[in-house]
Amino acid sequence: MKVNLGTGAQNSQDWERVLAGDFSTPPATPDYKCVQAALALGDLAEPLGFDGIWFPEHCGTPYGMTPNPIQALTYFAGRTERVGLGTFVVVAPWWHPVRLAHQIAYLDIVSGGRYTTIGIGRGVSKGEFEAVGVPREESRQRFNETLDILQLAFSGERFSYDGEIFKVPEMSLRPAPLSDDLFSRIYSSSSTAESLEILARRGMVPLFVGNKPIWDAGAEVQKVNTFRAEEGLPPCQPKNVMFMYCVANEADAAKTEEWIWTANRDVTVHYGFADASNFKGVKGYEAYAAREASATAVLASAVTGDGKPPAQKTPGYHASNLLIGTPEEILKRITAAQEACSFSEMTIVPQFGTMPYEDAMASTKLFAQEVLPEVHKMEAPLHPAALPEKSLA
């Protein structure tokens, strides 16, 4: 099974200043140092034997600071020779589809065809949508039209499009991409049942980014394959992103409690989960309003500065997606997760929350030495529980 290295710049120590609204002084750690550290982590991927390098797309807060993941991957395309490249995810509604198609095609050329996982999603954060001037109410329509246009752009010499939002005159994608199968490399990330069905019925394969229990993701794979069967499509396997900290001794894993909590706080604050008004009445985002109660507990704890996780279950990265412990424990967790979700490929994210990048690099090296060779030997089968429901009868 292939294993990729995911990285993005976190300035998680700066959230207290941001939450207090005190911008009279700069961050204690400049953002550029976080970006440089994230890039240094990415530089480990090829020499340590990972199969790919992946980046997210975020801007405007200390969380995940990668305003253009395709730009970051182009940087690595020039620094590497072997590894694949992936996004988790490009937020399609923030892009004009023709610009996005051209940037994907250009990365395909300069990387020699190594942009192998074009992860795409429709975004959540109110602040990010407002910053780029895109109404969230249009996100699903923009996402669907973007997929239409990408399929046309990657399928032939000439294309045009007449949608509700985007109008594309007859044109060609120039430069044309190196590869002729780019659309089949698109994986979709969705957080609502409606989006899951829409995307599954048009043939999209899921990409899960650790924000739900692994067994729930597995149940969604079965739903996806049921929808696909109804459309005459074969069953598929998702790709999964999981968060990792590898240590030589189990006792050393205790320090991750703070890092996990701060990572979940970052998710809560960045996406605005603590305020249901960010989602109530917003077309396509009504389901997110239900997260308010637990998210408010996280935010209250962050503001008071007690540094302790609240008693309530917090939103964010679910424990079943956390690969934390010794190499032996991590191997057990990967095996169990693959059995639960049937993923074909995985990406580990070795830095999250306030974890120092030095710790992330040491953990990544230990993982590469002790875990990666064993995972490379693993099969990644499609398990019966992920097959269409009628096949289990």
User: Within 10 Å of residue 4's Cβ, how many Cβ atoms?
Assistant: 24
pLDDT of residue 297: 46
pLDDT of residue 391: 53
Q: Where are the beta strands (DSSP E) in the chain?
A: 2-6, 52-55, 84-87, 90-91, 115-121, 159-162, 167-171, 186-188, 205-208, 239-246, 322-325, 345-349
User: Within 10 Å of residue 13's Cβ, how many Cβ atoms?
Assistant: 16
Can you list the residues of the chain whose pLDDT is less than 70?
290-316, 391-393
Domains of the chain plus CATH, in order, are 2-386 (3.20.20.30)
pLDDT of residue 167: 98
pLDDT of residue 291: 61
As a whole number of angstroms, the distance between CA 21 and CA 40 comes to 31
pTM over 0.85: yes
pLDDT of residue 49: 98
Among 211, 191, 199, CA closest to 266: 211
pLDDT of residue 333: 97
Residue pair 234/340 in contact by the 8 Å Cβ criterion = no
pLDDT of residue 292: 57
pLDDT of residue 315: 55
pLDDT of residue 53: 98
pLDDT of residue 287: 81
As a whole number of angstroms, the distance between CA 391 and CA 214 comes to 22
